[in-house]
Amino acid sequence: MSTDTMTATQVYRVYIKATPQAIWDAITKPEWTERYGYTNRADFDLRPGGAYKAYASDAMKRGGEANGIPVPDVVVDGEVQEVDPPHKLVTTWRMLMDPESAPEGFTRLTYEIAETNGGVCRLTVTHELENAPRLALVVGGGLEDTGAGGGWAWVLSDLKSLLENGAPMNMEDGFKE
C-alpha cells in the first residue's frame, strides 16, 4: 500500500489533576520516581548534554536474583537533550535492565506537560523506538505476563493515581480504593 507510513513511535497521554510543577517533579526527582511504576530512583542532570540514570530498586534486584538474572545498578541511561521546566523534557533512553534490549542502543523519549482547564494537566509521553523492536515490546507492556511490568501505560496510570490520590496502585503495600 503506497500510503503506508511505518512508524516505530509510541505515544501515551494521560490527564492528571495536578500542577505542571508537581508532574515535572514526579518525573525528575528521585524521591518521587521511587514511589510509582518501576520505582527506580532517577538521577537527572537537567541541562542539555547532562546525564540521566535510573537505578535498580531493591525489589528489582531481589526479583532478578530469585530468577537468576543479574540486575545492573543502572537500569536505564541516557542524555538530556532539551529541558524546559515544567513543560518539556527530551532525553535519549537506553534500557540496560533487559539483556535483549540493551544492545538496541539509544531511543528518544519526550515528556510534554500542558495545562488544560480546571487544574488538569495533559502529560504526553512520546517514545521514538526506531530499530528497537525488543524495547518497543517491553515499554508497550507486551511482556507484562512475564513479570516485566506493564510499560508506559502502567507507569502513567500509576503516576496519575499517586498524584491524585496520594498513593500508587501497583505498590506491594499500596492500598486500593
Binder of another protein out of 1, 49, 66, 118 (CB under 8 A): 1
What is the spatial distance between Cα 130 and Cα 136, in angstroms, rounded to a whole number? 9
The pairing of strands 41-44 and 51-55 is antiparallel
**Binding flags for another protein, 150-169, as an x/- string (CB under 8 A):** x-xxx-xxx-xx-------x
Cβ distance to another protein smaller for residue 10 or 19 = 10
Cβ distance to another protein smaller for residue 47 or 176 = 176
The CB-of-73 to another protein minimum distance in angstroms stands at 29
Buried b vs exposed e over 129-153: b needs ≥16 C-beta within 10 Å?
A: beebebbbbbbbbebeeeebbbbbb
Residues in 133-152 that interact with another protein by CB under 8 A = 141, 150, 152
- Please choose, out of 9-17, 32-40, 84-92, 93-101, the segment that lies near another protein by the rule CB under 8 A: 9-17
As to burial, measured by CB atoms within 10 angstroms (0-12 exposed, 13-18 middle, 19+ buried), residue 31 is exposed
Q: Applying CB under 8 A, what is the total number of residues that bind another protein? A: 28
Give the HSE-up count for residue 166: Cα atoms under 13 Å, Cβ half-sphere.
Answer: 0
What is the spatial distance between Cα 154 and Cα 120, in angstroms, rounded to a whole number? 20
124 binds another protein per the rule CB under 8 A: yes
**What residues line the site for another protein (CB under 8 A)?**
1, 3-7, 9-15, 124, 126, 141, 150, 152-154, 156-158, 160-161, 169-170, 176
